[in-house]
Structure 1
Amino acid sequence: MKVVVFVKATKSSEAGEMPDEKLLADMGKFNEELVQAGIVKAGEGLKPSSEGVRVHFSGSDRSSTDGPFAETKELVAGFWLWEVASMQEAIDWVKRCPNPMLEDSDIEIRPLYATEDFADSDPSGVLSDQEYKLRETVTMQQAVVQPYLFFAGRCEEALGFYEQAMGATVLMKMRFSESPDPVPDGMLQPGFEEKVMHASFKIGKMTLMASDGCGDATSHQGFRLAMSVENEAVCDRVFTALAEDGNVEMPLGKTFWSPRYGMVTDKFGIGWMVMVPGEQQ
């Protein structure tokens, strides 16, 4: 079951008083325990109601009122969204929580409605199907597509190259010999036992994944990686670094969409489009 856990507001939270270092550390530890238990879906703290707005509905009329709002005990200062086995599990977790406020405070637990709760109002299931599609749409809006590059035995060399040329940060690296599960017989080319089975690395805001693959037969065709940098001098440096022992298909130059744009394939066969973003139209 899913529950929303509301941290109720107090005089100190409505006054905008920030927690001290110890409380922040205690809450951080509690949140870490929640994450490790796998029950947290979301959670945030809210600013005082003085920075909020209420919208009132009366028939077809709508009116808004700026905060602050009276009745502090009815306000919320933060929340978690948890998925738990039962209400009792949620209660047990809340009782382990440090007091989130500087004074006496309350935390309220409220279960969420599930689709089956509306079965009597939706006998045909049409509304349930609509809700499922909306949830699927939201899920896909949060989906992440990442490039996965195969380097045919040169992955470690490539990672080192991108560290030097583009300031890449290698986040993790696992060799075939380190795999928790054995590689199926006949899948791996002889001599690839110490090659990179899986790696992830970050360039700017993008996280990419990489591997040596299971053999030295691979190709990088039908795609390019597009990299945007704000500074022309940096753009020039990165392009020059990528072009070393590679192939320049389009030298850096001015285009109608960018003050500096070029295409290059690096020495590992990865195609790049390096550019400075143009002005927004």
Structure 2
Amino acid sequence: MRYMSLIKIDPAGVPEGGPSEELMTEMGKLIEEMTKAGVLLDTAGLAPLDESTRVQLSGGKLTVIDGPFTEAKEFVGGYALTQCRSKEEAIEWGKRFLAIHGDQWEIALEIREVQEAA
């Protein structure tokens, strides 16, 4: 089963200067472990919120709005696509990902199974 993990970040909970060198090193180790285990299919961070564009449909009318979106209480900062035997396994990998961030971050994962085409 494939799972999409959306990395949700509270902008107020990001340490000054962003991820530390130590965090990036630990992230690299985890990504390597997940890749060798055949779990990680794809992962990436996303461009900053102020570089995003929102395309919205409301009442039949399409609107294109450029960021930043100051009303956002959280934003999707990245994603990971994994291949796991169960949702529980996907959650365990997600917990490990969050744990390496330490206590300076306000961050959450939304883990959802990818619905396969019929």
TM surpasses 0.5: yes
Superposed CA RMSD:
2.4
Query: How does the TM-score come out when normalised to structure 2?
Result: 0.84
Q: Cα offset for 1:72?
A: 2.6
Superposed displacement of residue 101, structure 1: 8.4
- Within a 5 Å distance, the mapping from 1:126-205 to structure 2 comes to none
Contact 1:51 1:67 in 2 (8 A): yes
Match of 1:50 in 2: 50
Residue type of the alignment partner of 2:73: T
**Which residue of 1 is the match for residue 108 of structure 2?**
106
TM value normalised by structure 1: 0.38
Q: What secondary structure is seen at the aligned counterpart in 2 of 1:57?
A: strand
- Residue 117 of structure 2 is matched in structure 1 by 115
- Separation in 1 of the partners of 2:103 and 2:110? 14
Per the alignment, do residues 54 and 100 of structure 1 end up closer, same or farther by CA in structure 2, a change over 3 Å counting? farther
Q: 1:14 to 1:55 in 2, by over 3 A?
A: farther
Give the 3-state SS of the residue equivalent to 2:107 in structure 1.
Answer: coil
For the 8 Å contact 1:13–1:77, the answer to whether it is kept is no
Residues 224-277 of structure 1 deviation map (CA, whole Å, 9 limit, x = unaligned): xxxxxxxxxxxxxxxxxxxxxxxxxxxxxxxxxxxxxxxxxxxxxxxxxxxxxx
1:91-114 per-position Cα deviation (integer Å, ceiling 9, x unaligned): 111112212884232112111111
Identity %: 32
Higher relative contact order, chain-length normalized (CA < 8 Å, sep 6+) = 2
Unaligned runs of 5+ in 2: none
Answer with 1 or 2: which has the greater Rg: 1
Paired residues in the alignment total 115
Who is 1:77 aligned against?
Answer: 77
Separation in 2 of the partners of 1:54 and 1:40? 28
Q: Does 1:41 align with 2:41?
A: yes
Q: How does 1:217-232 map to 2 (within 5 A)?
A: none
What residue in structure 2 maps to residue 32 of structure 1? 32
Contact 1:5 1:109 in 2 (8 A): yes
Unmatched 5+ residue regions in structure 1?
117-281
TM-superposed CA distance for 1:13, in Å, is: 7.7
1:22 is aligned to: 22
Report runs of 4+ in structure 1 exceeding 3 Å deviation: 12-17
Residues 9-46 of structure 1 show CA distances to partners (whole Å, capped at 9, x for unaligned) of 22268799431110110111110111011111111101
Paired with 1:113 and 1:102, the residues of 2 have a C-alpha distance of 34
CA distance in 2, matches of 1:53, 1:45: 16
